[in-house]
Structures are given as structure tokens and as C-alpha cells.
Amino acid sequence: MGFFDFIVNLLRDPRAFIAAWIVSLGPVMVYTPLFLIVFIETGVVVFPFLPGDSLLFTAGIFSAEGGGLNIVATLLVFYAAAILGNTSNYWISRFFGSRIIDSGKVKALTPERIAKLDYFFEKYGGLTIIITRFMPFFRTFAPFIAGTGHMDFGKFTFYNIVGGLLWVSLFVLVGYFFGGVPFVQEHFEIIVLGIVGVSALPAIIGAIKGILAGRRAKQD
């Protein structure tokens, strides 16, 4: 399976992957891929498309009684992955941010997204780190932009911890408490795609606004 196919299938049905990992890796090592996916999504600026929200939700379902995961361990592993991922992203930006942006090699880090995050930081300050936790793509880029000079590390760490705890707790616990509902079980793939779609909506709206603004600028 190619990397692209892996991402698409993981987005579509994370339940199948987690079930397979529980069987093949066991009750302890199963947390390794879960940790790595969330850590890489939040910590490496070139992987903003990994399925953080749906993975947290699905892991919450498997953390209910008899699911194969432990709810306390699941929360702790994802807390660590989310907080350490953002921290890694921040320091990568502090040392290499300007060169990465100037190189243009990170295609997803568009001028429109950078401008949008600049606006968020100017308007909301440190709350940007919390707000963008719930926005795919932007949650990967926000700590990167913070590291380019928008925020000192102490302030960043506070908002990083708060945002990580809120984001992980929300999606994992919703899965934990409501994943066993028959409707959720019967329509799992649709619900997961809905989570991805709703989470990505702000990014999509921002991209459309950027395109329309560019067209208006050319017409003027």
C-alpha cells in the first residue's frame, strides 16, 4: 500500500486500522502508531493532512469497555503526542522557519494561509494556538508561524498545553461515550467523513475567500 493510499484509507475508515493494530501489535505497542500519527500531524509542517480528529474519535470508541484500548492510556498518549508535536513544530520554525517558507517547498503553506494566521495572531494572540487546534491544516501551521517570532516559548507552551488537552479530550471522550450508540456503529464511515468535513470547513472557506480575493484584485 502506497503512502497516499494509506492516508486515504485511514481517513475513510480509521476503525479498521486501529482494530488491526490492536490485533497485530498488542495492547501496549498499539499506542505507537497512534502517537506517531498525531505527533507527525502536529509536529511536522509537511504533513498537515493526517487525520487527527477522526483518529482521536475512533480511538475513543476503542477505549470503551471491551474495545481493546484503555481510556486513561489513550488520553495520556494523545496528550503527549499533541503537546510534543506542537513543541517540535515551534522549534523547527525557530531554527529553520524562514528558510522553509522562502524555499516554497511546503506547497500547503500558502501565502493565504500565512496571512490568515498572521491575522489570527494579531486578533487573538495566544488563543490562536487553542482555536486552530480544532482546524485541520491550521493546527499544523499555527505553531510553525508562532515560532517565526509571533510568540515567546513560555507563552506558547501555556496555550499549547491548554489547546492540546481540550482538543484531545473533546474528540476522544465523544468517541468514548457515544461510539457505542447503534446509529454511530451503523453509520461510522459517514460520521467519520462528517467529522473530517466539518473540521476542514474553516480551511476550505478560507481557501475560497483567498481565491475570490485574488480574482477581485486582478480585475481591479
pLDDT tens for 46-69 read 776 677 888 999 999 999 988 999
The pLDDT of residue 34 is: 94
Is 42 in contact with 85 (CB distance < 8 Å)? yes
Tell me the average pLDDT across 134-163.
Answer: 89
Predicted model pTM: 0.83
Instruction: Give residue limits of the domains in the chain.
Output: 3-219
State which H helix or E strand residue 217 sits in: helix 188-219
Tell me the average pLDDT across 6-18.
Answer: 82
pLDDT tens for 75-95 read 999 999 999 999 999 999 888
Q: Is the pLDDT of residue 132 over 80?
A: yes
Higher model confidence: residue 14 or residue 160? 160
Is 68 in contact with 74 (CB distance < 8 Å)? no
> Which residues lie below 8 Å from residue 57, measured CB to CB, with a gap of 6+?
171, 172, 174, 175, 179, 192, 195
Q: Pick the most confident of 24-28, 103-107, 158-162.
A: 158-162
